[in-house]
Amino acid sequence: MLFQFFASMNRGLILGVVLLLAGFSQLFAQNKVKAQISSLSINSGKQVYAQYCLSCHQVDGLGVPNMNPPLAKTSYVSGDKVRLIKVVLKGFVQNVDIDGESYSNNMPPHNFLTDRQIADVLTYIRNSFGNAGSAITVPQVNRVRHLTK
């Protein structure tokens, strides 16, 4: 009887370990897919940045003093996602203070970009130039686009 108890306990333990390993395996696979998506998004965003953003915000993301704000290591970029999406969609026409510096150049709207392009370029910016922000998704951009029409 004692042998049966330990035998069933061992089977339960083995089953528990197998299920635990299966769970970790699935979690690892999901994280790998997320990493690939982020990598694809960042690579695509870099191309959008080079085409539409680089001339004002520069190759290093530092912008132009007193004209075009920096994207590097700023709370503006790593902060509110909705505000950032709105800037790309609607442009920016007022002076802005970012981290103690004032910038006065207008930014035209880039609402001609697709939701994917905006999500990708903002994900790229939020993960480049010394920034470490979370990704911006296509549904987030789509929601803001439709709310700000």
Q: What is the pLDDT of residues 11-20, one digit of tens each?
A: 655 544 444 4
Domains of the chain: 41-147 (1.10.760.10)
Nearest to residue 138, comparing CAs of 124, 126, 120?
A: 120
pTM of the model: 0.75
pLDDT category at 94 given cuts 50, 70, 90 is confident
d(CA 83, CA 2): 66
SS3 state at 107 = strand
Mean pLDDT of 30-36: 45
